Copies of this chain bind each other. A is one copy, B any other.
Amino acid sequence: MAIHKKDEFSQKEQDLATFAKALSHPARIAILKVLAQKNECICGEIVAVLPLAQSTVSQHLKELKTAGLISGETDGPRSCYCINWKAFEKFITDFNTLFEKLKSVNTKCC
């Protein structure tokens, strides 16, 4: 029980799931928006906008970073984050490819 079986799926399926998981919380979607709209992607600005504690935002940022969707540099006492477009687009493409493929095969059974 509760022994996770994620590893028994294909790498592509796991990658897509990991990407989706990174986006599966509204706070992380909001963070991505802020990162793109501000020229200076300072952590503090994100904290100011979101209805969450600083430590919680930091945790969400870490998850986005671990998933490879953003990258961060420490800049003096601050941290500068930005979107990792390369990895991001790779996933978007994979998603679209998968769904395009699914759509062409589908034959509406119900």
Contact = CB atoms under 8 A, between A and B. Distances in A.
Contact of A109 (B30, B51, B80): B80
Interface string A92-110: 1001101101110111111
A9 B27 CA distance: 7
A106 B52 CA distance: 24
Interface string A12-26: 011011001111111
B23 A17 contact: yes
Nearest to A27: B9
Tell me whether chain A's interface is mostly helix, strand or loop, or mixed: helix
Given A30-B9, A109-B41, A83 B102 contact: yes
Q: Assign chain A's interface to a size class.
A: 35 or more
A107 B39 contact: yes
A110 B85 contact: no
A26 B17 contact: yes
B92 A110 contact: no
A16 B36 contact: no
